[in-house]
Amino acid sequence: MNEAADIAALTVALRSLVPGPDRTAAFDTVSALAAMRDLGIVAGSLKRHGVQPLDAAPELLPVLVELGHRTDMIPRDTVHHYTAWNPADGRRRMYTGDPMEACLQDAVRMVFPSLVASLATCEQLAGLEPYDPAFALALRRTDRHVRAMVAAIDYTVAHVSPVYFAQVLRPYFEEFTVDGRDYLGPAAAQVPLWLVDLTLWQSDRSGPSYDSFIAESVPYSLPSWRAFHAAHAGSPSAVGKLSAAVSWENADRLPAPLADAALALTDVLRTLKTFRARHITIARKAYSDDVRLYENGSGGAPIELLRSVLDLTRDNETLVRRSTRPRTQAA
Ligand code: HEM
């Protein structure tokens, strides 16, 4: 249907999928998530062909609102529905059926277990001071989790062509309107790497464009991750805490746990930087003048956002790395 841009068939498919009120009410949480995923992929397909899904199927509105309410998520499918909650076998839901779409879904799917695990190590980190040996340990564990992002982008670069992404897949991630509000499609930009940034550096060492990107991204994440953001936004970050501690010490003779913490923090920031440097390379190709169909990424932000987040990550890494050098060398 998508290949043929068959709007009539997509409309019939969507309308026949919409569950009635009794059926919707009987869904448990897992079924509610699955229903949102399945309705979302057909609704997003209609939008790709220029039709607002709720104009084509007005009876969908109360169902999306109810499913969002029941799962404590937005009233539209997200990157979680499209990847982690999508079967990986023959039942896989896709817009195009192209193997490159499956590879992009799998790249994103592979980072979620690590991001869930990093939430726990970041939670520990938020409650620790850099003099505590557990601070460096939590950073090293976080680093191990964040390396999944590097593996995911390497997998993407190896298997997904930027031209396919830009010209075939990207149009399916357009926003559509639910109850007067636009909701973005289930794109990789919703992968909440900001959770890790928040605790490492973003809470007190960010910039306006990344701050507003995060503010717009938070509603698309899981309830517990939104709670994590609410609890830690505005608290001192690991970089903030470490810089304050180092400034009290003689950098020639830092206490061992502090020196170890600085090394571990440099390492995890370098891993984030590596992900972002490789990611911006493929993103630049997909959004180059001769390839792109859209000015902005599917997360709603322009490519310059990626440059500024990469710069912030790099600046924080440099700051921490230099902070432990003897003062004469640092100067
Ligand atoms: C063809 C592949 C990809 C392209 C062209 C691409 C492009 C982009 C663009 C243009 C943005 C800017 C924000 C926006 O979209 O509104 C972005 C953000 C982002 N993307 Fe991708 N992306 C790709 C694959 C991936 C993959 C596989 C992941 C993760 C596994 C990922 C994770 C992110 C994250 C976390 C952000 C937020 C900014 C940041 O943390 O640096 N992307 N992407």
Q: What is the mean pLDDT of residues 263-283?
A: 98
- Structure confidence at residue 7 (pLDDT): 98
Could you identify the atom of ligand 1 that is nearest to the CA of residue 283? Answer: 5
The pLDDT mean for the chain works out to 95
Look at 65-79, 158-172, 217-231, 290-304 and tell me which has the smallest mean pLDDT: 290-304
Are residues 36 and 77 in contact, defined by beta-carbon separation less than 8 angstroms? Answer: yes
Q: What is the mean pLDDT of residues 308-325?
A: 93
Higher pLDDT, 197 or 325: 197
Q: What is the mean pLDDT of residues 52-56?
A: 98
Strand partners, 177: 182
Q: Is the CB of 205 under 6 A from ligand 1?
A: no
Q: Which amino acid is at 22?
A: D
Instruction: Kindly state the helix (H) or strand (E) to which residue 181 belongs, with its residue range.
Output: strand 181-183
Domain 7-77 has CATH 3.40.50.2300: no
Q: Which residue is closest in CA terms to ligand 1's atom 42?
A: 188
> Is 90 exceeded by the pLDDT of residue 41?
yes
Q: How many Cβ atoms sit within 10 Å of the Cβ of residue 129? A: 15
Q: Would you state the structure tokens that stand for residue 198, as one six-digit string?
A: 């928040």
> Is 80 exceeded by the pLDDT of residue 324?
no
> Is 90 exceeded by the pLDDT of residue 115?
yes
Q: What is the mean pLDDT of residues 181-205?
A: 95
> Is 90 exceeded by the pLDDT of residue 117?
yes
Kindly give the residue spans of alpha helices, DSSP state H, lying in the chain: 7-17, 21-26, 29-48, 53-56, 60-71, 79-82, 99-109, 112-126, 133-159, 162-164, 194-197, 208-217, 223-232, 238-247, 256-286, 303-323, 327-330
Could you identify the atom of ligand 1 that is nearest to the CA of residue 193? Answer: 35
Q: Which residue is closest in CA terms to ligand 1's atom 5?
A: 283
Q: How much distance in Å is there from the Cα of 302 to the middle of ligand 1?
A: 11
> Is 80 exceeded by the pLDDT of residue 251?
no
The residue whose CB lies within 8 Å of the most ligand 1 atoms, and thus the one to mutate among 160, 279, 298, is: 279
- Structure confidence at residue 146 (pLDDT): 98
> Is 50 exceeded by the pLDDT of residue 12?
yes
Q: Tokens 């794109």, residue?
A: 187
Higher pLDDT, 2 or 323: 2
Could you identify the atom of ligand 1 that is nearest to the CA of residue 306? Answer: 41
Return the CATH number of the domain spanning residue range 101-330. Answer: 1.20.58.480
Q: How much distance in Å is there from the Cα of 53 to the middle of ligand 1?
A: 25
Mind listing the pLDDT tens digit for each residue in 57-94? 999 999 999 999 999 999 999 999 999 999 999 999 99
Q: Is the CB of 320 under 6 A from ligand 1?
A: no
- Structure confidence at residue 326 (pLDDT): 62
- Is-same-fold flag (7-77; 101-330)? yes
Are residues 76 and 64 in contact, defined by beta-carbon separation less than 8 angstroms? Answer: yes
Q: What is the mean pLDDT of residues 25-52?
A: 98
Look at 195-204, 266-275, 322-331 and tell me which has the smallest mean pLDDT: 322-331
Q: Is the CB of 282 under 6 A from ligand 1?
A: yes
* Pairing outcome for strands 176-178 and 181-183: antiparallel
Q: How many residues does the chain have?
A: 331
Distance (Å) of CA 48 to CA 1, 170, 228: 12, 9, 33
Q: Is the CB of 35 under 6 A from ligand 1?
A: no
pLDDT band at 323; cut points 50, 70, 90: confident
- Structure confidence at residue 214 (pLDDT): 96
Q: How much distance in Å is there from the Cα of 188 to the middle of ligand 1?
A: 5
Proportion of the chain above pLDDT 90, given as a percent: 92
Alpha carbon distance 322, 330 (integer Å): 6
Q: How much distance in Å is there from the Cα of 149 to the middle of ligand 1?
A: 11
Q: What is the mean pLDDT of residues 213-221?
A: 96
φ and ψ at 100, to 5 degrees? -70, -30
pLDDT band at 250; cut points 50, 70, 90: confident
pLDDT band at 98; cut points 50, 70, 90: very high
Proportion of the chain above pLDDT 70, given as a percent: 98
Q: How many Cβ atoms sit within 10 Å of the Cβ of residue 207? A: 15
238 Cβ contact list (under 8 Å, min separation 6): 125, 130, 135, 139, 199, 200, 201, 265
- Structure confidence at residue 331 (pLDDT): 42
Domain ranges of the chain: 7-77, 101-330
Could you identify the atom of ligand 1 that is nearest to the CA of residue 160? Answer: 1
Mind listing the pLDDT tens digit for each residue in 128-164? 999 999 999 999 999 999 999 999 999 999 999 999 9
- What is the torsional sign of CA 147, 152, 153, 155? positive
> Is 60 exceeded by the pLDDT of residue 327?
no
Are residues 113 and 80 in contact, defined by beta-carbon separation less than 8 angstroms? Answer: no
- Structure confidence at residue 329 (pLDDT): 52
Q: Which residue is closest in CA terms to ligand 1's atom 9?
A: 297
> Is 60 exceeded by the pLDDT of residue 330?
no
- Structure confidence at residue 300 (pLDDT): 85
